[in-house]
Chains A and B, each alone.
Chain A
C-alpha cells in the first residue's frame, strides 16, 4: 500500500499538472452555450455585412462578456500575449463599429478569430 502511494502520488500529480497546462484546448470551447466565441464572431460579421450596426454593437458587448468568462478558465494554460491580443482586437472592433467602418471591423474580427485559433495551442 505504502509503495503504491509512493508511486501513485507523483504520477497523479504529474497527470494533474499536464491536464492544467493543456486544459486551454478544451476549456476555450463553450460549456453552457452562451460563450461560443466563433459563433458570436460569425454573428457579428453577418451584422456588419448587413450594416446592422446597433445589433453588431450589442453582440460585441456580449462577445466581450463571454471573453472575460473564458479568460478566467484558460488563463493557466495559455500565453498572456494571445489573451491580450484578443482583448485588443475586441476593443478595436468596438471602435470600428462606433465609426461604422466596415473594413476595419472585418479586419479586427478576422484577427480575433486567428488569435482564438491559436489559443491553447
Chain B
C-alpha cells in the first residue's frame, strides 16, 4: 500500500467534495455567520481532514459524514429561508441592548453580554460616547448595529439640499496592459476613444498601464507601471525582517 499516494487521492476527494458542498450550502461571509454556522464549518472541516489522513478507516464513512453534515446544514438553511418562525428559533433574532439611549440590562443578562463587551463593540463601530447612541442592536451573528441620535449623525448632501451625481461602480478597461474590449463595448466606448483618453494623460500605449477603470460619471482612473515613486512610505510600527 502506497500511503502517500492514497493520501493524495483522498485529499483530492476531500478538497473538491468540500468545495462543492460549501458552494451548495451558501455564500454567507465569515462575518455573517452565526455561532452555529461557525461550529458547523469547523465540524465539516474536521471530518474532511479525517477523510484525508485517517487511513485506519475507509474514506467512504468519512465522506458520508461530510455529506450528512453538509446536507443538514443545507436543510437548516432552507428551513430558515422558508419558515420565519423556525428561523427565529434556529438562528436567533436581533436584540435591542440600548433603547433611546438607555442600556437594557435584562437583555444584556439574557444574552450573556457584559457592558464592557457592548462598549468594545461600540468602539469598533467608532462610537466612544454612550450619549451619542439612540439604539444599539446585537445581531444574531454577534455584531452590533448602532443608530446614533439625530444630532450626532453625519451631515449629508441631502441635509444641505445639494445635488450630487451618482458615482456608480467602476468598470475595468485595462488590466495588466491588456484592453478589456467586452467592458469597453458595454460602456458604449471603443478602443480609439480609450487611446485618445490615454494620450491626454501622456500615455502612448495600453501596455504602459497596469489598471484603468471608468465610472458611470465618466471619470477615468489610470495607474501606470511606472509610477515615478522611488521610496514607498513605510507604515509599519516595528522593525521586522523585511
Contacts and interface: CB of A to CB of B under 8 A. Distances in A.
Interface stretch (A17-25, A51-59, A100-108): A17-25
22 contacts: A13-B20, A14-B17, A17-B17, A17-B63, A21-B13, A21-B63, A71-B1, A75-B1, A75-B2, A75-B5, A75-B6, A76-B9, A77-B58, A78-B58, A79-B55, A79-B57, A79-B58, A80-B3, A80-B6, A80-B56, A84-B1, A120-B58
Given A13-B16, A14-B20, A21 B2 contact: no
Chain B interface bracket (under 10, 10 to 19, 20 to 34, 35 or more): 10 to 19
B242 interface: no
B60 interface: yes
Nearest to A11: B20
Nearest to A10: B20
Interface string A46-87: 000000000000000000000000010001111111011000
A57 B187 CA distance: 81
Contacts, number: 46
Q: Does more than half of chain B's interface fall in helix, strand or loop, or is it mixed?
A: helix
A21 B58 contact: yes
Contacts of B17: 14, 17
Interface residues of A, number: 20
A103 B232 CA distance: 82
Contacts of A17: 13, 16-17, 63
Contacts of B20: 10, 13-14
Interface string A18-34: 10111010000000000
A99 B204 CA distance: 90
Contacts of A78: 58
B21 to A, nearest CB: 9
Q: Which A-B residue pairs are the 7 nearest by beta carbons?
A: A80-B55, A21-B60, A10-B20, A75-B1, A17-B13, A21-B59, A79-B58
A84 B3 CA distance: 12
Contacts of B1: 71, 75, 80, 83-84
Interface centre among A17, A81, A83 (most CB of B within 10 A): A17
